[in-house]
Amino acid sequence: MIEHAVVIAGGGPTGLMLAGELALAGIDAAIVERRATQELAGPRAGGLSARTIEVFDQRGIADRFLAEGQVAQIAGFAWTRLDISDFPTRHNYGLALWQKHIERILAGWVAELAAPIYREREVTGFAQDDMGVDVHLSDGQSLRAQYLVGCDGGRSIIRKTAGIDFPGWDPTMSSLLAEVETTEEPPLGIHRTPFGIHSFGRKNYEIRDGEVVYIHEGPVRIMVPEERPGSTTEPTLRHLSEALIAVCGTDYGVHSPTWISRFTDMSRQAAAYRKGRILLAGDAAHVHSPIGGQGLNTGVQDAVNLGWKLAQVVKGISPESLLDTYHAERHPVAARVLRNTMAQVALHRPGEHTKAARDIVAELLQMDEPRKRFAAMMSGLGIHYDLGEGHPLLGRRMPDLDLVTSDGPLRVFTLLHKARPVLVNLAEPGGFDIAPWADRVRFLDAEYAGMWELPAIGAVPAPAAVLIRPDGYVAWVGDLTEPGLAGALTTWFGPPAAA
Ligand SMILES: Cc1cc2nc3c(=O)[nH]c(=O)nc-3n(C[C@H](O)[C@H](O)[C@H](O)COP(=O)(O)OP(=O)(O)OC[C@H]3O[C@@H](n4cnc5c(N)ncnc54)[C@H](O)[C@@H]3O)c2cc1C
């Protein structure tokens, strides 16, 4: 039986990111993926949030995405655009880029890191014991792994086989998405009717001054609500035609579909992100309405939270309990995503009462403080892991500052390219012996004279020293002489090595 330290079921955005993170940490991780390539039937995600761009920047790969997408103020809440151009980050914007391109770029990075992908086969089941997991594949083979991570999407067989509950809410709405030819020209743009929102666009478009400008040729992309949510059959051209006639009175002569798909606002979240040697990430752990564009972004960031922790446990540096911090930190993040998507779906319902509520929310979001708070939530820049009381940086993303070091200027995110933790001392050199952790944690004396500012929070006191985790979140803030530092290093990066 072929052995890997970690098997990842599913090579969508989450599985690819996790494979990259584990490979960077030197872990033998393999993906099992049903699809032959990263091509997708349908568009799915249309972009990256500011925090996901930062996460890619932390690994030195943000430029690959920025070179192919279009920078725009894409963060929004319930139809109100949230401008983040005043946020203290190098990436004070989102990026419009279709999911298939995001996946292709990620797959290229994973290939460079030489993480294997078993393609055109499925994980059909598994059996876990005290020492590992036998992962059964559709071609009759089995793989042996220490851990199995289900990144296999909303219908996750890993979650179901592990018997992990997926509580939540059934769909209250359902819409068809399609790319088709038409015999009549439909009215391009977004329309609101008593049935809900429908839209017509061209496959080919540009973003000019932050606005979508369609190129007037090529196939038409349609979004149209269905009368009844909850259908489990595959959508067809007939379903599309019927939905269009119900909403628009005509189907514009739709024919020759390239693809037809359906999305709903079903909102469910795994009760546990870990059961023994089985872990869940991405859509396997949480599904919700695509409104606000948060699914892919949340999945990629799940992977970045989990990767370094799983690597340390596999290497024997940290106890298995470190994996429990993955659920503790990421479950609340996706719970908030479910909550904000459910609120946005409610605010999108047809009717004058809902319109009044939507208008009032829009008015609130014109005010600076609510705008900043919601923009921090929707862009992912406001994520705060509860690591206890302390400095405002604790549990928040480390800003990408321009440090001055004895070797010259250095950006903080450059320090994270290899996904290793860093202890940055910004006070006088000396005062702490890093030697017992030097094999795992990089130590750096640096200077920074500028303001310390966090999105939606504003200026915070300059710290004397910060311990930055591989995922870019601050694990400890203080002075190198404080006794808590050795404890924080042990908690996050394992006990000191024997002298
Ligand atoms: C219409 C629509 C619009 C969206 N817009 C946005 C957006 O703008 N922004 C955003 O962030 N998100 C958006 N999303 C959500 C986003 O598409 C998902 O959250 C994202 O794809 C989740 O990534 P994932 O890797 O967790 O799961 P998936 O992308 O579902 O990947 C799972 C992978 O596992 C494979 N697989 C499944 N079962 C098995 C098995 N048993 N064995 C082997 N392989 C298996 C699948 O082939 C697939 O490649 C949108 C979704 C929809 C439907």
Say which DSSP state 282 is in: G
Would you state the structure tokens that stand for residue 249, as one six-digit string? Answer: 């009175």
pLDDT digits 0-9 by tens, 68-124: 999 999 899 998 999 999 999 999 999 999 999 999 999 999 999 999 999 999 999
> Residue of the nearest CA to atom 6 in ligand 1?
45
10 Å CB burial of residue 352 (0-12, 13-18, 19+) is exposed
Which pLDDT score is estimated for 14?
98
Which pLDDT score is estimated for 214?
72
Which residues 6+ apart lie within 8 Å of 98 measured at CB?
43, 44, 45, 46
Which pLDDT score is estimated for 81?
93
**Rounded-to-integer distance, Cα 352 and Cα 472, Å:** 44
Would you state the structure tokens that stand for residue 292, as one six-digit string? Answer: 């606000």
User: Residues near ligand 1 with C-beta < 6 Å?
Assistant: 9-15, 32-35, 44-47, 99, 122-123, 151-153, 157, 177, 263, 282-283, 290, 293-297, 299
**Rounded-to-integer distance, Cα 100 and Cα 296, Å:** 12
Q: Which of 212, 226, 283 to mutate to test the pocket of ligand 1 (most atoms within 8 A of CB)?
A: 283
User: How far apart are the CA of 13 and the centre of ligand 1, in A?
Assistant: 7
Position 171 pLDDT exceeds 80: yes
pLDDT digits 0-9 by tens, 369-416: 999 999 999 999 999 999 999 999 999 999 999 999 999 999 999 999
Do residues 365 and 374 lie in contact, with contact meaning Cβ atoms separated by under 8 Å?
yes
Which pLDDT score is estimated for 136?
98
User: How far apart are the CA of 12 and the centre of ligand 1, in A?
Assistant: 6
User: How far apart are the CA of 303 and the centre of ligand 1, in A?
Assistant: 13
Q: Which residues pair with 405 in a beta bridge?
A: 408
> Residue of the nearest CA to atom 4 in ligand 1?
45
Do residues 303 and 330 lie in contact, with contact meaning Cβ atoms separated by under 8 Å?
no
Position 260 pLDDT exceeds 80: yes
Position 204 pLDDT exceeds 80: no
**Rounded-to-integer distance, Cα 199 and Cα 214, Å:** 13
Which pLDDT score is estimated for 42?
79
**Rounded-to-integer distance, Cα 467 and Cα 475, Å:** 5
pTM summary value: 0.95
User: How far apart are the CA of 235 and the centre of ligand 1, in A?
Assistant: 18
Q: How confident is the model at residue 210 (pLDDT cuts 50, 70, 90)?
A: low
**Rounded-to-integer distance, Cα 10 and Cα 30, Å:** 10
pLDDT digits 0-9 by tens, 419-442: 999 999 999 998 889 999 999 999
pLDDT digits 0-9 by tens, 470-487: 999 999 999 999 989 999
**Mean pLDDT score, 304-310:** 98
Give the atom of ligand 1 at the shortest distance from the alpha carbon of 16.
25
Q: Which of 17, 44, 226, 338 to mutate to test the pocket of ligand 1 (most atoms within 8 A of CB)?
A: 44
Give the atom of ligand 1 at the shortest distance from the alpha carbon of 296.
11
